[in-house]
Amino acid sequence: MTSAASPSGAVAPHERAKPLAKGSVYPAKDLCSQCGLCDSRWVAYVKDSCAFLNQRFDAMEAAAHGRSRDLDNEDELYFGVQQRMLTARLQQPLDGAQWTGIVSRIGVRALETGLVDAVLCVGQSEDDRFTPVPRLARTPEEVLSARVNKPTLSPNLEVLEQLPGSGIKRLLAIGVGCQIQALRAVQPTLPLDELFVLGLPCVDNVSRQGLQTFLESTVSSPDTVVHYEFMQDFRIHFRHSDGREETVPFFGLDTPKLKDVFAPSCLSCFDYTNAGADLVVGYMGATFGRQWLTVRNPKGQQLLDLVEAELDVAPVSSSGQRQAAVQQGIEAYDKAVKLPIWVANLIGFFVERFGPKGLEYGRFSIDSHFTRNAVWLRRHHPDKVEAHIPAFARRIISRYRLPD
Question: Tens digit of pLDDT for each residue in 213-224?
Answer: 888 988 899 999
Classified as helix, coil or strand, 187 is helix
| DSSP classification of residue 130 | T
Would 196 be classed as within a structural domain? yes
Give yes or no for residue 296 having a pLDDT over 60.
Answer: yes
Q: Is residue 66 part of a domain?
A: yes
Asked if residue 364 is part of any domain, the answer here is no
Residue 200 lies in a domain: yes
98: nearest Cα among 137, 140, 136, 129: 129
Task: Work out the pLDDT band at 276, boundaries 50, 70, 90.
Answer: very high
- Smallest CA-to-CA distance from 133 within 159, 107, 166, 172 is with 159
Q: Within a 10 A sphere around the Cβ of 261, how many other Cβ atoms?
A: 17
CA angle 181, 311, 305 (to 5 degrees): 55
Q: What percent of the chain has pLDDT over 70?
A: 97
The band of 86, judged by pLDDT with boundaries at 50, 70 and 90, is: very high
Q: Is residue 283 part of a domain?
A: yes
The CA distance from 331 to 256, in Å, is 13
Q: What is the pLDDT of residue 256?
A: 78
The single-letter DSSP state of residue 207 is: -
- What's the structural domain count of the chain? 1
Residue 323: inside a domain:
no
User: To the nearest whole number, what is the mean pLDDT of the chain?
Assistant: 91
Q: Indicate the pLDDT class of residue 6, thresholds 50, 70 and 90.
A: very low
By 3-state DSSP, what share of the chain in percent is helix, strand and coil, each rounded to 5? 40, 15, 40
- Residue 87, pLDDT score: 97
Could you tell me if residue 239 is inside a domain?
no
pLDDT at 9 over 70: no
Res. 212: pLDDT tops 50: yes
Is there a contact between 370 and 397 (Cβ–Cβ < 8 Å)? yes
Any domain includes 238? no
What range does the domain containing 301 cover? 28-205+265-313
- What is residue 343's predicted lDDT score, i.e. its pLDDT? 77
Judged against a pLDDT cut of 80, whether residue 347 lies above it is answered with no
* SS3 state of residue 283: coil
pTM (2 d.p.): 0.92
Q: At what angle do helices 177-186 and 57-65 cross, to 10 degrees?
A: 70
